[in-house]
Structure 1
Amino acid sequence: MRGTSQQALTDAEDRFEPVLAAAGADAATLGDQLFAVVDLLDGNASLRRALTDPGATGEAKAGLVGAVLSGRVDGRVVDLVAGMVRARWAGERDLVEAVDRLGTVAVLASAQAAGELERVEDELFRVDRLLAANRDVRQALGDRTADVARRTTLVRDLLGTKAAAATLTLVTRAVAAPRGRTLTAAVIELGRLAAARRRRLVAQVTAAAALTQAQRERIERLLERRYGRPVQLNVSVDPAALGGLRIQVDADVIDATVRARLDDARRRLAG
């Protein structure tokens, strides 16, 4: 994906990150619903064309998204896709691929919120090794003439109950909807996305009141400059903080809340 489509995807990812951070483990549900949107777009060429028509206004296309998806998926998914169709896409398939990518990102974000992202990355690597070493399994899972339900059942049989829920979701999806890729290529890409997400730092931010989008973006920029890596903000509101912010990134803690300053002043006065 290049040019305007790549920029549109990057913008959508940036807007979606705060939503995923707030959703926590529930991001898996958003991922499942985004995959359902992908299936809808794959099966409806006229809808794809309408949502990527350069001659239509962004608002008209966003309105179409609302008319089609409202009541069928979570409002956060409706808002995301409506924002995406306001952008310009080089081709209708690029929009579908972008929605699919964000579905994967949402499932990985749910694993990250549950503390299982490293496990998922490792399991995806193991699936890749299994496919590379076992031609029969590779062919059985990748046979697009075979019944999809039969192939997805085979995935569950192979991974069993020990695999993380996110791993099972993503591999099952790769088998059921390969999107023109070999299964091996799809699993390798999933592993790459998991690894990229795991390198993203998570900053736990506590504020006395909800942050605006502009405030979130400013904090992200400051932290990214400090650590030299992308940073995901997980923001919680604690009125007891009184004001200011408490930011924790791994073992680093910056406590600039009014409450912390008052506590410090009390300690100094007490000698």
Structure 2
Amino acid sequence: MTLHAASREALDFAGNRLDEVLGDAGSDPSAVGEELLSVVDLLTGESGLRRAVSDGSTDPEARKRLVDSLLRDKISGPALTVLQTVVGSRWSNPRELLDGVEYLGRTALLVGAEKADKLDTVEDELFRFARILVNRPELERVLGDRSASAEAKRGLVRQLVADKVDPISKVLLEQVVLRPGGRSVAESVDGLVEMAAARRDRAVARVTSATELTAEQRERLAAQLGRVYDRPIALHVALDPELGAGLVVRVGDEVIDGSAAGRLDAVRRQLAG
């Protein structure tokens, strides 16, 4: 997500308010997250309303009253409090306000997973869904088709995951398919994986292995990568027998290719050059 200076400041302010709201006893972070994402759907479909709530030339209190009048009976008090903070701030443009609300909604859902002690589960389920898309480009094309209706995409995601994933994972996947943010759906889901890992100050290592790794091998690899990158590592492993042997490790934009296939490719490039 790329934001201009004013929008970054507005998001920081709204993020602090979200932390306060979710820290209150009795708050339901997952419910707040779903409500915020429902507002993203509303603003996506209503361009006039989106412009009205993000117009920095108007009175901030008037923008808050507008949101209050439209949503008071439709969303909870905690979610409304966060939205009033959002619209009361100055954003660089309507799109960045929309991106900001989306980010807050996703964050609240991940906080909900964290409080329920299932953040690892959600992170892993998101990672595995992204790998499915990488390995099935035809499915990626269908989910990324801008001409397809929102309901058709939601229906396909629900069909794919059924009851196999946590409800929080399902909500996040449905929402990211509807708004991939200018990236492929797989890349956007990977962005959610990174958001989940960042909640515990971890970097994500995407490992592709020719064979299943034992628990000891995973621990040793995570420890080695942690020393290299000087921070804890969230290790996610996918199998690909076509590698022949070894591993391919991706951390951010860096790729460490220790696979047999990678070495053969390197030899071919040398011979061709």
Partner Cα distance (1:74, 1:195) in 2: 28
In 1, are the aligned partners of 2:126 and 2:193 still within 8 Å (CA)?
yes
Indicate whether 1:119 and 2:141 are aligned: no
Q: Deviations over 1:148-177 (max 9, x none)?
A: 333323323322323111111111111233
Shift of 1:179: 4.2
The aligned runs of 1:200-211 (5 Å cut-off) are: none
- CA 25–52 in structure 1, closer or farther in 2 if over 3 Å, else same: closer
For 1:84, the aligned partner's letter is V
Shift of 1:25: 7.8
Q: Deviations over 1:54-74 (max 9, x none)?
A: 221211211111111111111
Pick one of 161, 173, 180 that aligns with 1:178.
180
Pick one of 186, 197, 200 that aligns with 2:199.
197
- Give the TM-score taking structure 1 as reference length: 0.68
Indicate whether 1:59 and 2:45 are aligned: no
In 2, are the aligned partners of 1:25 and 1:111 still within 8 Å (CA)?
no
SS at structure 2 position matched to 1:198: coil
Pick one of 7, 10, 24 that aligns with 2:12.
10
The aligned runs of 1:4-153 (5 Å cut-off) are: 4-22=6-24, 26-153=28-155
For 1:69, the aligned partner's letter is L
Number of aligned residue pairs = 201
- CA 44–157 in structure 1, closer or farther in 2 if over 3 Å, else same: closer
- CA 100–24 in structure 1, closer or farther in 2 if over 3 Å, else same: farther
- CA 130–118 in structure 1, closer or farther in 2 if over 3 Å, else same: same
In 2, are the aligned partners of 1:174 and 1:186 still within 8 Å (CA)?
yes
In 1, are the aligned partners of 2:35 and 2:79 still within 8 Å (CA)?
yes
In 2, are the aligned partners of 1:24 and 1:110 still within 8 Å (CA)?
no
Shift of 1:24: 6.8
In 2, are the aligned partners of 1:118 and 1:198 still within 8 Å (CA)?
no
Shift of 1:184: 1.6
The aligned runs of 1:255-270 (5 Å cut-off) are: none
Runs of at least 5 residues in structure 2 that lack an aligned partner in the other structure? 203-230, 232-273
Q: Which has the higher contact order (CA 8 A, sep 6+)?
A: 1
Q: Deviations over 1:177-200 (max 9, x none)?
A: 334432122101111111111339
In 2, are the aligned partners of 1:89 and 1:95 still within 8 Å (CA)?
yes
CA RMSD of aligned residues (A): 2.1
Shift of 1:3: 0.3
SS at structure 1 position matched to 2:199: helix
Q: Deviations over 1:15-60 (max 9, x none)?
A: 1113223367822111111111112211222222221222212112
- CA 46–158 in structure 1, closer or farther in 2 if over 3 Å, else same: closer
- CA 199–53 in structure 1, closer or farther in 2 if over 3 Å, else same: same
Partner Cα distance (2:174, 2:165) in 1: 12
- CA 64–25 in structure 1, closer or farther in 2 if over 3 Å, else same: closer
- Give the TM-score taking structure 2 as reference length: 0.68
Partner Cα distance (1:103, 1:24) in 2: 18
SS at structure 1 position matched to 2:83: helix
Runs of at least 5 residues in structure 1 that lack an aligned partner in the other structure? 201-228, 230-271
Q: Deviations over 1:80-138 (max 9, x none)?
A: 11111111111111111101111111111111111000111111111121111111222
Q: Percent identity between the aligned chains?
A: 37
